Amino acid sequence: MQNYNFIQKFLHDLVLSKKIINKTLFEIEKKIHLKNKNLRNKSHIFITGLPRSGTTSLLNFLYSTNQYASLTYKNMPFILSPNFSKLFNKKNTPSKERAHGDGINFDINSPEAFDEIFFDNNEEFIKNELLNYLQLILLSENKIKYLSKNNLNYKRIDLIQSILPNSIFLIPIREPLQHAYSLLNQHAHFIQLQQKDDFIRRYMNYLSHNEFGLNHKPWDNPINHQDLNKIDYWLEQWCLFYKNIFKKYQNYNNCFFIIYEELTNPNYVKMLQEKINLNQVEKLDLNYFKNSNKKRLSINYAKDTYDNAKNIYMNFRNKDTRKFT
Protein backbone atom coordinates (compact mmCIF):
# COMPACT_ATOMS: atom_id res chain seq x y z
CA MET A 1 0.00 0.00 0.00
CA GLN A 2 3.00 2.30 0.43
CA ASN A 3 4.52 3.85 -2.68
CA TYR A 4 1.60 2.83 -4.90
CA ASN A 5 1.34 5.01 -7.99
CA PHE A 6 -1.83 6.85 -8.98
CA ILE A 7 -3.13 4.07 -11.24
CA GLN A 8 -2.56 1.39 -8.57
CA LYS A 9 -4.36 3.47 -5.96
CA PHE A 10 -7.24 4.15 -8.34
CA LEU A 11 -7.61 0.46 -9.20
CA HIS A 12 -7.57 -0.62 -5.54
CA ASP A 13 -10.08 2.09 -4.59
CA LEU A 14 -12.36 1.12 -7.45
CA VAL A 15 -12.32 -2.65 -6.94
CA LEU A 16 -12.16 -2.88 -3.16
CA SER A 17 -14.77 -0.21 -2.48
CA LYS A 18 -17.39 -1.92 -4.67
CA LYS A 19 -18.15 -5.52 -3.70
CA ILE A 20 -20.05 -6.11 -6.93
CA ILE A 21 -16.81 -6.08 -8.97
CA ASN A 22 -15.11 -8.82 -6.97
CA LYS A 23 -18.33 -10.83 -6.71
CA THR A 24 -18.95 -10.66 -10.45
CA LEU A 25 -15.42 -11.86 -11.20
CA PHE A 26 -15.93 -14.61 -8.60
CA GLU A 27 -19.00 -15.88 -10.47
CA ILE A 28 -17.16 -15.80 -13.79
CA GLU A 29 -14.17 -17.62 -12.34
CA LYS A 30 -16.39 -20.34 -10.86
CA LYS A 31 -17.88 -21.02 -14.29
CA ILE A 32 -14.43 -21.30 -15.88
CA HIS A 33 -12.32 -23.04 -13.24
CA LEU A 34 -14.48 -24.78 -10.66
CA LYS A 35 -14.24 -28.56 -10.52
CA ASN A 36 -15.95 -31.06 -8.25
CA LYS A 37 -13.11 -31.75 -5.83
CA ASN A 38 -13.47 -32.87 -2.23
CA LEU A 39 -11.54 -30.55 0.02
CA ARG A 40 -14.00 -30.49 2.93
CA ASN A 41 -12.08 -32.97 5.09
CA LYS A 42 -8.56 -31.65 4.57
CA SER A 43 -6.69 -30.11 7.51
CA HIS A 44 -6.78 -26.49 6.36
CA ILE A 45 -5.12 -24.04 8.74
CA PHE A 46 -6.53 -20.74 10.00
CA ILE A 47 -4.22 -18.47 12.00
CA THR A 48 -6.18 -15.92 14.01
CA GLY A 49 -6.08 -13.70 17.09
CA LEU A 50 -4.70 -10.31 18.04
CA PRO A 51 -2.17 -8.68 15.71
CA ARG A 52 1.44 -8.35 16.91
CA SER A 53 1.28 -11.85 18.42
CA GLY A 54 3.29 -13.64 15.74
CA THR A 55 0.50 -14.33 13.27
CA THR A 56 2.50 -13.16 10.25
CA SER A 57 5.61 -15.07 11.35
CA LEU A 58 3.54 -18.25 11.66
CA LEU A 59 1.98 -17.61 8.26
CA ASN A 60 5.33 -17.10 6.55
CA PHE A 61 6.87 -20.14 8.23
CA LEU A 62 4.04 -22.49 7.25
CA TYR A 63 3.78 -21.09 3.74
CA SER A 64 7.52 -21.59 3.23
CA THR A 65 7.04 -25.37 3.57
CA ASN A 66 5.33 -25.27 0.14
CA GLN A 67 2.51 -27.48 1.44
CA TYR A 68 -0.26 -24.89 1.47
CA ALA A 69 -1.98 -22.44 -0.82
CA SER A 70 -2.68 -18.94 0.41
CA LEU A 71 -3.70 -15.58 -0.99
CA THR A 72 -0.71 -13.41 -1.87
CA TYR A 73 -0.07 -9.84 -2.97
CA LYS A 74 -0.33 -10.90 -6.61
CA ASN A 75 -4.05 -11.52 -5.99
CA MET A 76 -4.71 -7.88 -5.12
CA PRO A 77 -7.13 -6.26 -5.68
CA PHE A 78 -9.12 -9.07 -7.36
CA ILE A 79 -9.23 -11.17 -4.21
CA LEU A 80 -12.28 -13.28 -5.09
CA SER A 81 -10.80 -14.42 -8.41
CA PRO A 82 -7.37 -15.87 -7.58
CA ASN A 83 -6.79 -17.45 -11.00
CA PHE A 84 -7.79 -14.33 -12.90
CA SER A 85 -5.80 -12.00 -10.66
CA LYS A 86 -2.53 -13.85 -11.23
CA LEU A 87 -2.63 -12.80 -14.89
CA PHE A 88 -2.19 -9.15 -13.94
CA ASN A 89 0.72 -9.42 -11.53
CA LYS A 90 3.30 -11.66 -13.14
CA LYS A 91 6.34 -9.47 -12.60
CA ASN A 92 8.40 -10.22 -9.51
CA THR A 93 9.09 -7.26 -7.26
CA PRO A 94 12.07 -6.64 -4.96
CA SER A 95 11.53 -7.69 -1.38
CA LYS A 96 10.99 -4.77 0.99
CA GLU A 97 10.04 -4.17 4.60
CA ARG A 98 6.30 -3.97 5.23
CA ALA A 99 4.64 -0.79 6.46
CA HIS A 100 4.77 -1.94 10.11
CA GLY A 101 8.53 -1.31 10.18
CA ASP A 102 9.08 -4.53 12.15
CA GLY A 103 11.76 -6.24 10.06
CA ILE A 104 9.32 -8.51 8.16
CA ASN A 105 9.85 -8.26 4.41
CA PHE A 106 7.43 -9.09 1.62
CA ASP A 107 7.19 -9.22 -2.15
CA ILE A 108 4.43 -9.92 -4.65
CA ASN A 109 4.55 -13.66 -3.88
CA SER A 110 4.22 -13.25 -0.11
CA PRO A 111 1.07 -14.51 1.63
CA GLU A 112 -1.08 -12.00 3.47
CA ALA A 113 -4.40 -11.57 5.26
CA PHE A 114 -6.66 -10.84 2.32
CA ASP A 115 -9.50 -13.35 2.70
CA GLU A 116 -11.50 -10.97 4.89
CA ILE A 117 -12.74 -9.60 1.55
CA PHE A 118 -14.55 -12.94 1.21
CA PHE A 119 -15.58 -13.34 4.86
CA ASP A 120 -16.94 -9.79 5.03
CA ASN A 121 -20.24 -11.04 3.63
CA ASN A 122 -23.35 -12.48 5.23
CA GLU A 123 -23.28 -15.94 6.80
CA GLU A 124 -25.41 -17.49 4.07
CA PHE A 125 -22.90 -16.42 1.41
CA ILE A 126 -20.02 -17.87 3.45
CA LYS A 127 -21.82 -21.18 3.98
CA ASN A 128 -22.68 -21.49 0.30
CA GLU A 129 -19.41 -20.32 -1.19
CA LEU A 130 -16.49 -21.07 1.14
CA LEU A 131 -15.76 -24.48 -0.40
CA ASN A 132 -15.94 -22.98 -3.89
CA TYR A 133 -13.66 -20.10 -2.94
CA LEU A 134 -11.04 -22.32 -1.36
CA GLN A 135 -11.12 -24.64 -4.34
CA LEU A 136 -10.30 -21.71 -6.63
CA ILE A 137 -7.39 -20.67 -4.41
CA LEU A 138 -6.06 -24.23 -4.20
CA LEU A 139 -6.33 -24.61 -7.96
CA SER A 140 -4.41 -21.39 -8.53
CA GLU A 141 -1.50 -22.71 -6.43
CA ASN A 142 -1.86 -26.41 -7.29
CA LYS A 143 -2.21 -27.41 -3.63
CA ILE A 144 -4.71 -29.43 -1.58
CA LYS A 145 -4.62 -27.53 1.76
CA TYR A 146 -5.43 -23.90 2.46
CA LEU A 147 -3.54 -21.59 4.82
CA SER A 148 -5.11 -18.39 6.11
CA LYS A 149 -4.00 -15.63 8.43
CA ASN A 150 -7.00 -13.56 9.37
CA ASN A 151 -7.06 -11.80 12.73
CA LEU A 152 -10.87 -11.62 12.59
CA ASN A 153 -11.56 -15.32 12.11
CA TYR A 154 -11.64 -15.87 15.88
CA LYS A 155 -15.23 -14.60 15.59
CA ARG A 156 -16.25 -17.35 13.15
CA ILE A 157 -14.37 -20.47 14.26
CA ASP A 158 -17.63 -22.37 14.78
CA LEU A 159 -18.89 -21.36 11.34
CA ILE A 160 -15.67 -22.37 9.57
CA GLN A 161 -15.41 -25.74 11.29
CA SER A 162 -19.06 -26.48 10.49
CA ILE A 163 -18.03 -26.25 6.83
CA LEU A 164 -14.50 -27.65 7.20
CA PRO A 165 -14.71 -30.11 10.13
CA ASN A 166 -10.99 -31.00 10.10
CA SER A 167 -9.80 -27.42 10.01
CA ILE A 168 -7.12 -26.33 12.49
CA PHE A 169 -6.99 -22.99 14.28
CA LEU A 170 -3.75 -21.51 15.58
CA ILE A 171 -4.13 -18.70 18.12
CA PRO A 172 -0.81 -17.14 19.18
CA ILE A 173 -0.44 -15.74 22.70
CA ARG A 174 2.27 -13.20 23.58
CA GLU A 175 3.49 -11.96 26.95
CA PRO A 176 0.94 -9.20 27.67
CA LEU A 177 3.17 -6.23 28.50
CA GLN A 178 5.39 -6.86 25.48
CA HIS A 179 2.30 -7.36 23.34
CA ALA A 180 0.49 -4.25 24.58
CA TYR A 181 3.63 -2.15 24.04
CA SER A 182 3.87 -3.38 20.46
CA LEU A 183 0.17 -2.62 19.83
CA LEU A 184 0.58 0.89 21.25
CA ASN A 185 3.61 1.59 19.05
CA GLN A 186 1.92 0.29 15.91
CA HIS A 187 -1.15 2.41 16.61
CA ALA A 188 1.00 5.57 16.80
CA HIS A 189 3.00 4.46 13.75
CA PHE A 190 -0.06 3.95 11.55
CA ILE A 191 -1.65 7.23 12.64
CA GLN A 192 1.43 8.97 11.24
CA LEU A 193 1.34 6.95 8.00
CA GLN A 194 -2.38 7.55 7.47
CA GLN A 195 -2.09 11.28 8.15
CA LYS A 196 0.57 11.51 5.44
CA ASP A 197 -1.30 9.32 2.93
CA ASP A 198 -5.06 8.79 3.25
CA PHE A 199 -4.90 5.86 0.80
CA ILE A 200 -3.28 3.81 3.59
CA ARG A 201 -6.31 4.48 5.79
CA ARG A 202 -8.72 3.55 2.98
CA TYR A 203 -6.72 0.44 2.06
CA MET A 204 -6.79 -0.79 5.66
CA ASN A 205 -10.52 -0.13 5.87
CA TYR A 206 -11.16 -2.17 2.72
CA LEU A 207 -9.43 -5.12 4.36
CA SER A 208 -11.13 -4.50 7.75
CA HIS A 209 -7.71 -3.83 9.27
CA ASN A 210 -8.95 -1.47 11.96
CA GLU A 211 -6.55 -2.70 14.62
CA PHE A 212 -4.45 0.48 14.49
CA GLY A 213 -4.55 4.04 13.25
CA LEU A 214 -7.21 6.67 12.69
CA ASN A 215 -10.04 4.17 12.25
CA HIS A 216 -9.14 1.91 15.17
CA LYS A 217 -11.96 -0.23 16.54
CA PRO A 218 -11.59 -1.89 19.96
CA TRP A 219 -11.98 -5.66 20.17
CA ASP A 220 -14.08 -5.19 23.30
CA ASN A 221 -15.70 -2.17 24.88
CA PRO A 222 -13.14 -0.50 27.20
CA ILE A 223 -13.99 -0.62 30.90
CA ASN A 224 -11.39 1.29 32.92
CA HIS A 225 -8.98 2.58 30.28
CA GLN A 226 -10.13 4.76 27.38
CA ASP A 227 -6.94 6.53 26.26
CA LEU A 228 -5.58 4.88 23.12
CA ASN A 229 -2.27 6.69 23.59
CA LYS A 230 -1.49 4.86 26.84
CA ILE A 231 -0.41 1.28 27.28
CA ASP A 232 -3.14 0.61 29.86
CA TYR A 233 -5.79 0.76 27.11
CA TRP A 234 -3.98 -1.93 25.12
CA LEU A 235 -3.33 -4.04 28.23
CA GLU A 236 -7.02 -3.98 29.09
CA GLN A 237 -7.93 -4.89 25.52
CA TRP A 238 -5.46 -7.80 25.78
CA CYS A 239 -7.16 -9.01 28.96
CA LEU A 240 -10.69 -8.76 27.60
CA PHE A 241 -9.80 -10.43 24.30
CA TYR A 242 -7.80 -13.37 25.63
CA LYS A 243 -10.10 -13.99 28.60
CA ASN A 244 -12.93 -14.53 26.11
CA ILE A 245 -10.76 -16.63 23.80
CA PHE A 246 -9.68 -18.92 26.64
CA LYS A 247 -13.21 -19.30 27.99
CA LYS A 248 -14.68 -20.13 24.58
CA TYR A 249 -12.01 -22.26 22.92
CA GLN A 250 -9.95 -23.94 25.64
CA ASN A 251 -11.72 -27.28 25.11
CA TYR A 252 -11.70 -27.24 21.31
CA ASN A 253 -9.42 -30.04 20.15
CA ASN A 254 -8.73 -28.27 16.87
CA CYS A 255 -7.71 -24.94 18.50
CA PHE A 256 -4.06 -24.65 19.47
CA PHE A 257 -2.82 -21.80 21.62
CA ILE A 258 0.68 -20.98 20.37
CA ILE A 259 3.05 -19.38 22.87
CA TYR A 260 4.85 -16.63 20.95
CA GLU A 261 7.99 -16.74 23.09
CA GLU A 262 8.42 -20.50 22.47
CA LEU A 263 8.61 -20.18 18.70
CA THR A 264 12.40 -19.88 18.79
CA ASN A 265 12.55 -23.34 20.41
CA PRO A 266 13.08 -26.03 17.71
CA ASN A 267 11.48 -28.74 19.86
CA TYR A 268 8.37 -26.64 20.35
CA VAL A 269 8.07 -25.99 16.62
CA LYS A 270 8.56 -29.70 15.87
CA MET A 271 5.72 -30.57 18.26
CA LEU A 272 3.59 -27.93 16.54
CA GLN A 273 4.26 -29.60 13.19
CA GLU A 274 3.04 -32.91 14.56
CA LYS A 275 -0.12 -31.42 16.03
CA ILE A 276 -1.17 -29.77 12.77
CA ASN A 277 -0.36 -32.79 10.57
CA LEU A 278 2.39 -30.93 8.75
CA ASN A 279 4.80 -33.13 6.85
CA GLN A 280 8.19 -32.94 8.50
CA VAL A 281 10.47 -30.24 7.15
CA GLU A 282 14.09 -31.31 6.81
CA LYS A 283 15.48 -28.11 8.27
CA LEU A 284 13.42 -25.78 10.40
CA ASP A 285 14.04 -22.15 9.52
CA LEU A 286 13.42 -20.42 12.83
CA ASN A 287 14.53 -17.07 11.39
CA TYR A 288 10.84 -16.41 10.84
CA PHE A 289 10.55 -16.16 14.63
CA LYS A 290 13.68 -14.12 15.31
CA ASN A 291 11.65 -11.26 16.80
CA SER A 292 10.02 -13.49 19.42
CA ASN A 293 12.49 -12.60 22.18
CA LYS A 294 11.43 -10.22 24.91
CA LYS A 295 12.65 -6.61 24.92
CA ARG A 296 13.51 -4.65 28.03
CA LEU A 297 10.76 -2.10 28.60
CA SER A 298 10.72 1.04 30.69
CA ILE A 299 7.13 2.25 30.79
CA ASN A 300 4.51 3.03 33.42
CA TYR A 301 1.42 0.82 33.47
CA ALA A 302 -1.54 -0.06 35.70
CA LYS A 303 -0.27 -2.83 37.96
CA ASP A 304 -3.70 -4.37 38.59
CA THR A 305 -4.41 -4.61 34.86
CA TYR A 306 -1.04 -6.19 34.19
CA ASP A 307 -1.45 -8.65 37.09
CA ASN A 308 -4.77 -9.72 35.60
CA ALA A 309 -3.12 -10.12 32.20
CA LYS A 310 -0.30 -12.24 33.65
CA ASN A 311 -2.81 -14.62 35.24
CA ILE A 312 -4.60 -15.03 31.92
CA TYR A 313 -1.28 -15.55 30.15
CA MET A 314 -0.30 -18.30 32.59
CA ASN A 315 -3.63 -20.05 31.99
CA PHE A 316 -2.69 -20.22 28.31
CA ARG A 317 0.82 -21.44 29.07
CA ASN A 318 -0.52 -24.21 31.29
CA LYS A 319 -3.11 -25.20 28.70
CA ASP A 320 -0.48 -25.13 25.98
CA THR A 321 1.82 -27.37 28.01
CA ARG A 322 -0.91 -30.00 28.31
CA LYS A 323 -1.67 -29.89 24.59
CA PHE A 324 1.96 -30.10 23.51
CA THR A 325 2.90 -33.21 25.48
Give me the pLDDT at residue 301, please: 94
Mean pLDDT by 10 residues, the chain (325 residues): 78 90 94 87 95 94 94 94 83 75 82 94 96 96 95 97 96 96 96 95 94 96 97 98 96 94 90 84 76 75 96 88 54
Long-range contacts of 273-280 (CB under 8 A, 24+ apart): 275/323, 275/324, 276/43, 276/45, 276/168, 276/170, 277/43, 277/168, 278/62, 278/65, 278/67, 279/65, 279/67
Residue range 12-323, CATH number: 3.40.50
Length of the chain: 325
Give residue 262's Cα distance to chain centre.
19
Per-residue confidence (pLDDT) for residue 97, from 0 to 100: 74
CA 77 to chain CA mean position, Å? 18
Asked whether the beta carbons of 272 and 195 are under 8 A apart, the reply is no
Contacts (Cβ under 8 Å, ≥6 apart) of 7 = none
For 60-85, write each residue's pLDDT tens digit: 999 999 999 999 999 999 999 999 99
Would the pTM count as exceeding 0.75? yes
Count of beta carbons in the 10 Å neighbourhood of residue 306:
20
Please tell me the distance from the alpha carbon of residue 89 to that of residue 80, in angstroms, as a whole number: 15
Residue 254: closest CA among 175, 325, 162: 162
Q: Could you tell me the CA-to-CA distances from 195 to 13, 52, 65, 207, 213 in Å, in that order? A: 18, 22, 38, 18, 9
pLDDT at residue 324 in the model: 55
- Rg over alpha carbons for the chain, rounded to the nearest Å, is 19
Distance from C-alpha of 36 to C-alpha of 33, rounded to nearest angstrom = 10
Instruction: Name 255's bridge partners.
Output: 169
| Helix or strand holding residue 116 (H, E) | helix 116-119
Domain parsing of the chain, residue ranges = 12-323
Tens-place pLDDT, residues 241-297: 999 999 999 999 999 999 999 999 989 998 898 888 887 666 777 888 876 556 778
Would you state the pLDDT for residue 296? 77
Bridge partners (DSSP) listed for residue 147: 45
Residue 89 C-beta-side C-alpha neighbours within 13 Å:
21
Max Cα-Cα span within the chain: 59
